[in-house]
Structure 1
Amino acid sequence: MHKTGSIYGINGPVIYLKGNTGFMMSEMVYVGEEKLVGEVISLDKDMTTIQVYEETSGLRPGEIVEASGSPVSVTLAPGIIDNIFDGIERPLERIADTGGAFITRGVSVDSLDRDKLWDTHMTVSVGSELHGGDIIAEVPETRAIVHKCMVPPGMCGTVTDVVPDGQYTIDEVLLTLKTPEGETKKLTMTQKWPIRTARPTSHRFPASVPLVTGQRILDTMFPIAKGGTAAIPGGFGTGKTMTQHQIAKWSDADIIIYIGCGERGNEMTQVLEEFSQLVDPKSGNPLMDRTTLIANTSNMPVAAREASIYTGLTLAEYYRDMGYDVAIMADSTSRWAEALRELSGRLEEMPAEEGFPAYLASRLSAFYERAGMMHNLNGTDGSVTIIGAVSPQGGDFSEPVTQNTKRFVRCFWGLDKSLAYSRHFPAIHWLTSYSEYLTDLAAWYHDNVSPKFVDYRNRLMALLNQESSLMEIVKLIGSDVLPDDQKLVLEIARVIRLGFLQQNAFHKDDTCVSLQKQYKMMEIILYLYKRCRELIAMNMPMSVLKEENIFERVIAIKYDVPNDNMQLLDQYMVDIDNFHNTIMEKNA
């Protein structure tokens, strides 16, 4: 028997039903004649409040609201990768086929293709004992990703019947399970999972392995761990989206889930077009073979914007359960917070700072807490890494979304307007950014790159900090009055900024750099500093050192040394020694 209620009041995306409807909290409902998708967000004995994920204009009091009997959920099966969804997992291509360029109201399309046949290799046999999370079949979803169909969490039993290997749709029964209670369960490739509930795991690991991105300022200066959380706050035009694109293209995550939450439509179009043309550097296949896009543009209803973050997160957790490392790019959490604020205002809740709801912090923490490196129920290990862009109004980092995000993430990549305007990209400022993962990852760098890696990084950071304090003096009285050893610090800091921290996303060798090359570049810069300090100690003036052009040569390493010819880096050490000897001979 379907539970129903009738609309009593409408306030934008929020509708009210009078009386006791019998609906459940967080239940998915169908609103009005067009069956708009909604969710129950508040209940008492006299009133039911529902947020609608679609445009509500044209709804009238008295129209019927029908309960679905289950919470807002996503469909999990092969076909997710290489797809583009809206905020509630409706495929945009299928919507475009039925309703044109804009999403029409009440459009009802299947999340995944139910007619497509998938090559299926069964991994269990009759008599196998199965538990929640166990893998029952493997399906090549794309050229890059093998989809592992699993027993839904919370289910167990003995296999009584299995289909042979072959081609099946996502709804065909693959095996029959007899539970300890004697019930018979038929399993297909498909699972449903509520988006607001985290999928269960057996154990959470501490951070110990970095997510290698190929971006020097991230990998060396402010690394993020697999299963970690990071925020990229920055004003308009500072490069948040571009930084996320670079991480999506070059990081060593197996799967990328890109959530465009409330972004401009033309910006999302650029993402979709770019991603479909890009080639995955690891496999040579299209990058979309390991990417899912969730597009929720700024003109789509705000309630769906609020749900899109959880939809992406649930898809990521599903692939983590298969043993993959998944990276989520959420662009941007500020638009998501604005959707919360708008809904909160319509519900007449008590506003907190800047009109955001009082529960903003708890919602942000619940979102970021679903990241982590996990030991899954089936014995595999996987991770979900969350990288959230924050768009503070006017670039003001003291506003509530940035401040609350800072409390819950361990990696903060602060973008700086002045760096962006001086064309220094990525415009991550080394003095306002930090990473708490550095100490956790030190052992990994020690074993996999070099025992000196973290020490070199700290020495570069110390030089940049020295430069910052010296610039205060320079602004007041000019650089000519500084002693030569301090002039050298300024020059080496310039080499670090231009030659190491600045990176060109459009240069074939500089767009992505291996950790070994990053380490060698640091070594060369520090060796140059050491040899120059020796010369300064012998009273050589800084003006003489600058004549030899060695600083410009070291800055140009990033362009001059191809990534596949690292031996060329050894020559720079010899060149620095030659430079040292030349200066000595000239001034003997």
Structure 2
Amino acid sequence: MIGRIVQVAGPTVIAEGLGGAALNEVVRVGTDRLLGEVIRIEGDRATVQVYEETAGLELGEPAEGLGAPLAAELGPGLLGAIFDGVQRPLAALASREGDFLGRGAVLPALDRDRAWDFEPSVRPGDTVRPGTRVGTARSLGAPEHPVLAPPGVTGRVDAVRPGGAALEDAVVTLEDGKTVALLERWPVRRPRPVRRRLPPDVPFLTGQRVLDCFFPVSSGGTAIVPGGFGTGKTVLEQSLAKWAAADVVVYVGCGERGNEMAEVLDEFPRLEDPRTGGPLLDRTVLVVNTSNMPVAAREASIYTGCTIAEYFRDMGRSVALMIDSTSRWAEALREIAARLEEMPGEEGYPTYLASRLARFYERAGRVETLGGGEGAVTMVGAISPPGGDLSEPVTQCSLRATGALWALSADLAHRRHFPAIDWTSSFSLEGERLVAWFEREAGSGFGALREEATKLLQRERELAEVAELVGTESLQDAERLVLESARLLREGFLRQSALDAADASCPPDKAFEMLRLVLEWHRRAGAAVGSGVPLRAVLDTGVPTKLLRLGQIPSSDMRRGAEALRAEMTDALARLEAD
């Protein structure tokens, strides 16, 4: 179906003669065949949002509907790849086009010239259902890639084609004529099906103590990371990509500055995967859509990333989907809505912003896959609120749709406290549900310790306000001990050094020992001060300094080191009380 352009307004184009097109159908616009998508149909006219720069389009140029929605190519070769928002391979296009992409530049997302060896795991006569593993694809320099029967494919195997195969070759043929190839296409705005959802009772371990212990999120859960400029949103997401308990990382750079994304593209290939010792990029997919790229492609980029994440989830893998940032996505949505002259809501965002965000975050989850395995997509979305104002619409709409708020503090960031998580503003709706797991895996009493630590931080905040008025020296020793113990908790437990190999990531059992030691010190020191021991003498024992350095102890030595420090603490305080 071919129509003609009758109006151009920024990234939106109106074409006549496309009345038979479907909503979300892909359209090639103009003589340069720019990629676009139908977003409104009125009689014989279709409104198309174009994923490329529309400058130079002329009225009367053709607009051709392709009869299918925007779809992602899924198959071997995804890991380690770098795409733009509509899954164009940036590395391959750069080698052909140079540093700047030409208008209408098109290449398949996955390399059609790469040779793959297919090793089947089914034989003629076997029954295949959606999600059944039919074989494994291998290629030199690439990880093994399971090949699954896509949704909707069911039947008995008629023929199997082992050996070398191209991506689009049929490697398994069923008796009803349906085929399974290495390559699968899936519409990006349609969630991939699962057998059932599983309860969110397993944590998504991040390796960051402040998150895992105080504000945990479940595997398959959702979290948002709002913070102003320079608070460390990108750094935190990169730390999660490296250390979190995820088999695959999908990182979506949505509308961020070009130089920042260039830094990400430069750093990721050089980051070492702590699991394998190889490049972290080997289990990462990057979807990059910078602020100077077309606004419509920015709106599509998070759906592209989510579809890729769901594909790996269906293989039974735990996938971390990092989005940096959803604010830029919402701004793109606002610009497109303005072009369509839709009713604006708060701060000009479309009135359906909340429902769009909720619908997207609903695609996260820990599930039983169609093949009977267990997989999860955990979403972490960064938000860039103007001026750090958490009352702005994107943050508030995201809060209603997600399970955890990891608020970043500019004050902590300026004090070089990393991660700069503001423990007074952050929260997790799943913390109580996950206590049972931490009690079982990290140590009995974990929930009580976390509650005690929270109360200590709250008490410090109250006393800090008093100290600002009357001075710290005017406080009693017991109150000054609260301030000192809270400082140990903040600087020795909540803060981590990404440059220290032992402290960059912290497993739950190590975090439990550290937290227990700090709080045990507070209780025992409080008892000593209550019996008349001067606070200065308690602090001069040297134990507080060693508590600050607990994170530098390797996880394997933590239990032995904790026992030694506990014995030293007991002896030092006993001597003071005896004197």
Q: If the length of structure 2 is used for normalisation, what is the TM-score?
A: 0.98
Q: Does residue 1:196 correspond to 2:194, yes or no?
A: no
Q: 1:251 Cα deviation (Å)? A: 0.8
Q: Secondary structure at the match of 2:523?
A: helix
Q: Is the 8 A contact 1:141 1:147 kept in 2?
A: no
* Structure-to-structure mapping, 1:506-525, within 5 angstroms: 506-525=499-518
Q: Is the 8 A contact 1:144 1:285 kept in 2?
A: no
Q: Is the 8 A contact 1:142 1:289 kept in 2?
A: no
Q: 1:63 Cα deviation (Å)? A: 0.3
Q: 1:239 Cα deviation (Å)? A: 0.4
- Alpha-carbon distance in structure 2 between the residues aligned to 1:145 and 1:485: 58
* Structure-to-structure mapping, 1:180-191, within 5 angstroms: 184-191=177-184
Q: Does residue 1:306 correspond to 2:303, yes or no?
A: no
Consecutive unaligned residues in structure 1, runs of 5 or more: none
Partner of 1:439: 432
Partner of 1:529: 522
Q: Give the AA of the match of 1:228.
A: G
Aligned CA RMSD, in angstroms, stands at 1.4
Partner of 2:62: 64
Q: Is the 8 A contact 1:255 1:290 kept in 2?
A: yes
Partner of 2:15: 17
Q: Secondary structure at the match of 1:293?
A: strand
Q: Is the 8 A contact 1:260 1:297 kept in 2?
A: yes
- Alpha-carbon distance in structure 2 between the residues aligned to 1:316 and 1:136: 20
Residues 340-370 of structure 1: per-residue CA shift (max 9 Å, x gap): 0111111111110001111110111011100
Partner of 1:138: 136
Q: Secondary structure at the match of 2:261?
A: helix
- Alpha-carbon distance in structure 1 between the residues aligned to 2:31 and 2:16: 18
Partner of 2:174: 177
Partner of 1:562: 554
Q: Give the AA of the match of 2:555.
A: N
Partner of 2:389: 396
Partner of 2:230: 237
- Alpha-carbon distance in structure 2 between the residues aligned to 1:407 and 1:76: 31
Q: 1:550 Cα deviation (Å)? A: 2.1
Q: 1:145 Cα deviation (Å)? A: 4.8
When residues 481 and 141 of structure 1 are mapped into structure 2, their CA distance, relative to the original with a 3 A threshold, is: farther
Q: Of 480, 483, 490, which residue of structure 2 is paired with 1:487?
A: 480
- Alpha-carbon distance in structure 1 between the residues aligned to 2:155 and 2:100: 46
Q: 1:336 Cα deviation (Å)? A: 0.3
Consecutive unaligned residues in structure 2, runs of 5 or more: none
Q: Is the 8 A contact 1:463 1:493 kept in 2?
A: yes
Q: Is the 8 A contact 1:173 1:186 kept in 2?
A: yes
Deviates further, 12-21 or 133-142: 133-142
Q: Give the AA of the match of 1:374.
A: V
Q: Is the 8 A contact 1:20 1:44 kept in 2?
A: no
- Alpha-carbon distance in structure 2 between the residues aligned to 1:507 and 1:140: 36
- Alpha-carbon distance in structure 2 between the residues aligned to 1:334 and 1:520: 38
Q: Give the AA of the match of 2:336.
A: L
Q: Give the AA of the match of 1:562.
A: P
- Alpha-carbon distance in structure 2 between the residues aligned to 1:499 and 1:176: 60
Q: 1:46 Cα deviation (Å)? A: 4.2
Residues 419-463 of structure 1: per-residue CA shift (max 9 Å, x gap): 111111111011100111112211211221112112111111110
Q: Secondary structure at the match of 1:115?
A: coil
Q: Is the 8 A contact 1:144 1:290 kept in 2?
A: no
Q: Give the AA of the match of 2:226.
A: P
Q: 1:140 Cα deviation (Å)? A: 4.1
Q: 1:186 Cα deviation (Å)? A: 2.5
Partner of 1:90: 88
Residues 486-528 of structure 1: per-residue CA shift (max 9 Å, x gap): 2111110000000001111112211112222111111110111
* Structure-to-structure mapping, 1:241-260, within 5 angstroms: 241-260=234-253
Residues 285-327 of structure 1: per-residue CA shift (max 9 Å, x gap): 2111110001111110000000000000000001100100000
Q: 1:564 Cα deviation (Å)? A: 3.6
- Alpha-carbon distance in structure 1 between the residues aligned to 2:314 and 2:39: 29
Q: Of 5, 17, 21, which residue of structure 2 is paired with 1:7?
A: 5
Deviates further, 150-159 or 408-417: 150-159
- Alpha-carbon distance in structure 2 between the residues aligned to 1:313 and 1:90: 16
Partner of 1:212: 205
Q: Secondary structure at the match of 1:565?
A: helix
- Alpha-carbon distance in structure 1 between the residues aligned to 2:10 and 2:248: 36
- Alpha-carbon distance in structure 2 between the residues aligned to 1:289 and 1:118: 17
Q: 1:142 Cα deviation (Å)? A: 8.4
Partner of 1:283: 276
When residues 216 and 580 of structure 1 are mapped into structure 2, their CA distance, relative to the original with a 3 A threshold, is: same
Q: Give the AA of the match of 2:442.
A: V
Residues 150-205 of structure 1: per-residue CA shift (max 9 Å, x gap): 222122111111113x22221121011123xxxx1232111110000000011001
When residues 239 and 292 of structure 1 are mapped into structure 2, their CA distance, relative to the original with a 3 A threshold, is: same
Q: Secondary structure at the match of 2:557?
A: coil
- Alpha-carbon distance in structure 2 between the residues aligned to 1:7 and 1:100: 30
Q: Is the 8 A contact 2:153 2:178 kept in 1?
A: no
When residues 449 and 207 of structure 1 are mapped into structure 2, their CA distance, relative to the original with a 3 A threshold, is: same
Q: 1:230 Cα deviation (Å)? A: 0.3
Q: Of 407, 415, 418, which residue of structure 1 is paired with 2:400?
A: 407
Q: Does residue 1:151 correspond to 2:143, yes or no?
A: no
Q: Give the AA of the match of 1:88.
A: V
Partner of 2:126: 128
Q: Does residue 1:323 correspond to 2:323, yes or no?
A: no
Partner of 1:473: 466
Q: Give the AA of the match of 2:165.
A: Y
Q: Is the 8 A contact 1:26 1:72 kept in 2?
A: yes
Q: Secondary structure at the match of 2:485?
A: helix
Q: Is the 8 A contact 2:257 2:290 kept in 1?
A: yes
Q: Give the AA of the match of 1:111.
A: A
Q: Is the 8 A contact 1:81 1:141 kept in 2?
A: no
Residues 50-80 of structure 1: per-residue CA shift (max 9 Å, x gap): 0000000010010000011100001111011
Deviates further, 96-105 or 494-503: 96-105
Q: Is the 8 A contact 2:77 2:142 kept in 1?
A: no
Q: Of 339, 344, 347, which residue of structure 2 is paired with 1:346?
A: 339
Q: Does residue 1:387 correspond to 2:366, yes or no?
A: no
Deviates further, 303-312 or 106-115: 106-115
When residues 538 and 153 of structure 1 are mapped into structure 2, their CA distance, relative to the original with a 3 A threshold, is: same
Aligned pairs, how many? 578
Q: Of 450, 457, 460, which residue of structure 2 is paired with 1:464?
A: 457
When residues 465 and 543 of structure 1 are mapped into structure 2, their CA distance, relative to the original with a 3 A threshold, is: same
Partner of 1:450: 443
Q: Is the 8 A contact 2:19 2:41 kept in 1?
A: no
When residues 20 and 247 of structure 1 are mapped into structure 2, their CA distance, relative to the original with a 3 A threshold, is: closer
